[in-house]
Structure 1
């Protein structure tokens, strides 16, 4: 029964997913952001650790994108259309490192050892 329902609803689900992804890409391009920029390191300590492990230039680019987006938002303007066309909102830079950090954390929990970085939310 599950396969039948899956077969019936997969095309609808995929259509809705593509529409949502297009809308999200359009909104991220308006401010020059990438999807990985939306991860908040204050609420997820794995994200904080993954950002710490990234190369410094990648973190600097992320901070510049966030500052530009904040500036655009405060001024109630969007990036010019020619700059929006150059944006790549779904080009990941954090996903691989985040997977590695989460995998390490789960492995340490399974072994019963402590993590080498602070696990408290500020």
Structure 2
């Protein structure tokens, strides 16, 4: 569960609202500019949180390598003040979550651990 307020579940449950906002969401993702640098949305998650570091460690070696490659390539583009050629931009269908599901799983594990740690044992006589 995200630590920020989100209207996504509300919007997804209402197809008419989803269809209305889909073009706006696509425009916003393109305007954000991360796809022109070859990044995926989950590449933007900051690595300052302990849970994010755990999630990154759980990535497959290939996915971890790809993430580092995309970030380094984007950094190089940023330093040189250039965008990637259009054929190297991240396509919308490629921009799928790969780190968020693992992060949600870790947060669920923390929640479950807290619930189990707070259990009280009542002895019956």
- After TM superposition, the score normalised by the length of structure 1 is 0.70
What is the alpha-carbon distance in structure 2 between the residues aligned to residue 52 and residue 68 of structure 1? 21
Matched residue of 1:101: which SS? helix
| Alignment check: 8 A CA contact 1:32 1:87 kept | no
The aligned length equals 104
1:34/1:98 Cα in 2 relative to 1: closer, same or farther (>3 Å)? Answer: same
Q: Which residues of structure 2 form unaligned runs of 5+?
A: 1-9, 119-125
Partner of 1:22: 27
2:60 to 48, 55, 58: 55
Give distance in 1, aligned partners of 2:110 and 2:90: 38
Residue 38 (str. 1) matches residue 15 (str. 2): no
Aligned equivalents of 2:91, 2:22: Cα separation in 1? 23
Name the SS of the counterpart of 2:82 in structure 1: coil
Q: Calculate the TM-score normalised by the size of structure 2.
A: 0.69
Mapped to 1, the partners of 2:27 and 2:94 lie a distance apart of 10
Match of 1:98 among 94, 103, 115: 103
RMSD in angstroms over aligned alpha carbons?
A: 2.6
- Structure 1, gaps ≥5 residues long: 1-5, 114-122
1:25 positional shift: 3.4
Tell me how far apart the structure 2 counterparts of residues 85 and 109 of structure 1 sit (CA, whole Å).
Answer: 39
Q: What's the secondary structure of 2:47's corresponding residue?
A: coil
